[in-house]
Amino acid sequence: MESASIAAHGHVDDHHHGPPEAHQSARIDRTILGILLFILSEVMLFGAFFAAYFFLRVVAEPSSWPPEGVELPVLIAGINTCILVSSSFTIHYALEAIKHNNHRGLKLGLTTTWLLGATFLFIQINEYIHIGFTPRDGAFGSIFFSLTGLHGAHVFVGLLLLTFANIRAYRGHFGPEQKDHLGVEVPGIYWHFVDIMWIIVFLAVYII
């Protein structure tokens, strides 16, 4: 009777209330979840700036946006866009390389991504110097520098993350397991976000 009671109690204890625990492979890493939530907040920040941009554009006279005499360097911005978009492919290459334990490919991908990002930022700063107007020159000047400057600040942060990733890569800190290459994957997710935001900025400000 005692063994039967133990068996019965054991059978009862085996029943779990609520949904079954997720399999380890179905869980999202807390670090990945954290960067995704952070990016969500940044999307809302950019959304506020885009709302301000389109509001100013709507209330302005159609013939005055951009103001007369203002010529945006569309060609240079387009080339710069290609440079930044190509860096998404190189950071993806770096991540795929380390997943296959290819440390040489990892270093090549990370270094190239950093160089492309730095080139983009250099061209953007050079554009500011020669563009012919300042943030004080009306609503267009203010929102142009605010929106592109906000993105430039994110590129700078991305370059800092890539710098740390490069240092760790050259020290051999990364491996093929996910927990061993989060230091590449997280900056990569952020960098893709920066690239996507620039495409939207380029289309909204320079093209439309």
CA gap 146, 48 in Å, rounded: 11
Phi, psi at 14, each rounded to 5°:
-75, -15
20 inside domain: no
CA gap 160, 96 in Å, rounded: 21
Residue-wise DSSP of 163-176: HHHHHHHHTT---S
Q: Which domain holds residue 150?
A: 28-207
What is the b/e burial string over 81-114, where b = at least 16 CB atoms within 10 angstroms of the residue's CB? beebbebbebbebbbebbbeebbebbbbbbbbbb
- Are 164 and 7 spatial neighbours (Cβ–Cβ below 8 Å)? no
Please write down the long-range contacts of 44-49, taking CB distance under 8 Å and 24 or more positions apart.
45/150, 46/150, 46/151, 46/197, 46/200, 49/143, 49/146, 49/147, 49/150
Listed residue (153, 176, 142, 129) closest to 46, CA to CA: 153
76 inside domain: yes
Query: What mean pLDDT comes out for the span 12-28?
Result: 52
22 inside domain: no
Counted domains in the chain:
1
163 inside domain: yes
pTM (predicted TM-score): 0.83
70 inside domain: yes
155 inside domain: yes
Query: What mean pLDDT comes out for the span 28-34?
Result: 85
Query: Which one is predicted more confidently, 57 or 62?
Result: 57
6 inside domain: no
CA gap 114, 150 in Å, rounded: 19
Per-residue pLDDT tens digits for 60-114: 665 677 887 788 999 999 999 999 999 999 999 999 999 999 999 999 999 999 9
CA gap 196, 43 in Å, rounded: 11
185 inside domain: yes
End-to-end CA distance of the chain: 82
How high is the pLDDT of residue 124?
96
CA gap 52, 56 in Å, rounded: 6
